[in-house]
Amino acid sequence: MLTPIDFYFDFMSPYGWFAARQIDAIGARFGRDVTWRPLLLGVTVLQVMGLKALPDTPLKSDYLELDVPRTARLFKLPYNPPTPLPANSLAPARAYYWLFDRDPAGAKRLARRLYDRQFAEATDVSVPDVVAETAAETLGLDPAAVLAAIADPQVKERLRRAVDEAVARKAFGSPFFFVDDQPFWGSDRLWMVERWLETGGW
Amino acid sequence: MLTPIDFYFDFMSPYGWFAARQIDAIGARFGRDVTWRPLLLGVTVLQVMGLKALPDTPLKSDYLELDVPRTARLFKLPYNPPTPLPANSLAPARAYYWLFDRDPAGAKRLARRLYDRQFAEATDVSVPDVVAETAAETLGLDPAAVLAAIADPQVKERLRRAVDEAVARKAFGSPFFFVDDQPFWGSDRLWMVERWLETGGW
């Protein structure tokens, strides 16, 4: 049995979404499952790395404004984000890990649907009610149970632990992949992930 | 006549070198000249963007340590850098622009040779004497004239202007390309530059 690909992403990150739309198909071509692992760029990039948020970084912010829609067109993805982008992704990330511990396949379906709502349907999925409603529609979950989970201190702690584990493993961006412990950062590296899977490394 | 590709890089940057070894051949396949334009990451990244140097950035520094030699192997480049990497690239960048205004083809030959000495032959090309000696060997220039140029206030000003122009154009990284005013950042984007040249954009 081949090791699953670990796929780290932030629900706020359009580049993460570009990868989310492609990584399972790439994995499947090489017999690999993909484990989705939301992280928080507010922790990895801002706190741990001590950098600024991309939109607050001169020059890079202009580049992103051009590059994100351009990359979406290249990947033929229907990019249609909310304006402004949500400032955090705590609610979807908490809901994800809460569900992941009970139903990993359902958690991935929820994540996929939330990500699509955010970046293809201009829906702000940082709003707990939106997460709960999406979980109800997608998986038939009780919205009240999802809202309770998002506010549950144990679930908050579960997310913190997941982000700490990502940092301990030195994952920092969105998307960020591990293939057999080889780290790859960026949706512009998907071709390299494929090459690694194809060749077994170089 | 097709517009030349503008290729921005820092002589300190291994990713810039990876691109330098490939970009003229890519341009040639699509009938494009390539204009090499050294910049200074110490200005663009540290001063203008207000970020830290990559080696001083937690998590990313570990990633780079693994990724730079891995990417060199992927591109089949004989990566053999000086240790530690030079802290600045003022001398080669000044020599480049001094020569560029007199002999653009010679300037590119010098840049190529300096870059190779640095990253394939473990030579610290931040040292003015090394730049002068390389210019003498590569182009038959008088080493004393090269040393004088590197120390010349007008040449220093010429480099400052070049970096200011790069910033005004919103180039910030190494490598950084413009193809018909489309910006592309990173040696992991060379495939995208090729696609743009091939298709005329998307």
Residue B189 C-alpha, separation from nearest chain A C-alpha, in angstroms: 7
- What confidence tens digit (pLDDT) does each residue in B148-175 have? 999 999 999 999 999 999 999 999 999 9
Residue A54 C-alpha, separation from nearest chain B C-alpha, in angstroms: 10
Provide the ipTM: 0.93
Residue B198 C-alpha, separation from nearest chain A C-alpha, in angstroms: 13
pLDDT of residue A55: 83
Residue B70 has pLDDT above 90, yes or no: yes
Facing residue for B73 by CB, picked from A66, A170, A202: A202
Q: Which residues of B touch A52 (CB under 8 A)?
A: 50-51
- What confidence tens digit (pLDDT) does each residue in A121-169 have? 999 999 999 999 999 999 999 999 999 999 999 999 999 999 999 999 9
E strand spans, A151-195:
176-179, 182-185
Q: Which residues of A touch B73 (CB under 8 A)?
A: 202
Using the beta-carbon criterion (under 8 Å), do A70 and B183 form an inter-chain contact? no
Residue A95: CB atoms within 10 Å: 29
Contacts of B49 (CB under 8 A, 6+ apart): A57, A58, A59, A60, B172
Using the beta-carbon criterion (under 8 Å), do B60 and A49 form an inter-chain contact? yes
Of B196, B167, B191, nearest in space to B180 by CA: B196
